[in-house]
Amino acid sequence: MAGSAAAAGQMAAAAAMWEQVKAPVIVPLLRLSVAACLAMSVMLFVEKVYMTVVLVAVKLFARRPDRRYRCDPIVSGAGAVDGDGGSDPELAGDAAFPMVLIQIPMYNEREVYKLSIGAACGLSWPSDRFIVQVLDDSTDPVIKEMVQVECKKWENKGVRIKYAIRDNRVGYKAGALREGMKHGYVRDCDYVAIFDADFQPDPDFLTRTIPFLVHNPDIALVQARWKFVNANECLMTRMQEMSLDYHFKVEQEVGSSTHAFFGFNGTAGVWRISAMNEAGGWKDRTTVEDMDLAVRAGLKGWKFVYLGDLMVKSELPSTFKAFRYQQHRWSCGPANLFRKMLVEIATNKKVTLWKKIYVIYNFFLVRKIIGHIVTFVFYCLVVPATVLIPEVEIPRWGYVYLPSIVTVLNSIGTPRSLHLLIFWVLFENVMSLHRTKATLIGLLETGRVNEWVVTEKLGDALKMKLPGKTFRRPRMRIGDRVNTLELAFSAYLCFCGCYDIAFNKGYYALFLYLQSITFFIIGVGYVGTIVPS
- Residues annotated catalytic, as ranges: 137, 290
- Indicate the residue type of 316: L
Q: Phi then psi for 28, rounded to 5 degrees?
A: -60, -40
Q: Which residues pair with 134 in a beta bridge?
A: 104, 163
HEC profile of 244-289: HHHHHHHHHHHHHHHCCCCCCCCCCEEEEHHHHHHHCCCCCCCCCH
DSSP-assigned letter for residue 528: B
For residues 264 and 306, the answer to whether their CB atoms sit within 8 Å is: no
Q: Which residues pair with 307 in a beta bridge?
A: 224
Q: Is the dihedral of CA 102, 108, 110, 111 positive or negative?
A: negative
Q: List % helix, strand, coil for the chain (3-state, nearest 5).
A: 60, 10, 30
List the alpha helices (DSSP H) in 61-171: 65-68, 113-121, 141-156
For residues 414 and 246, the answer to whether their CB atoms sit within 8 Å is: yes
CB burial of residue 300 (10 Å; 0-12, 13-18, 19+):
middle
Nearest to 137 by CA among 171, 92, 87, 187: 171
Element (H, E) at 223: strand 219-228
Q: Is the dihedral of CA 94, 100, 106, 111 positive or negative?
A: negative
Burial 259-292 (b: 16+ CB within 10 A, else e): bbbbbbbbbbbbbbbebbeebebbbbebbbbbbb
For residues 505 and 513, the answer to whether their CB atoms sit within 8 Å is: no
Q: Are strands 87-88 and 80-81 parallel, antiparallel or unpaired?
A: antiparallel
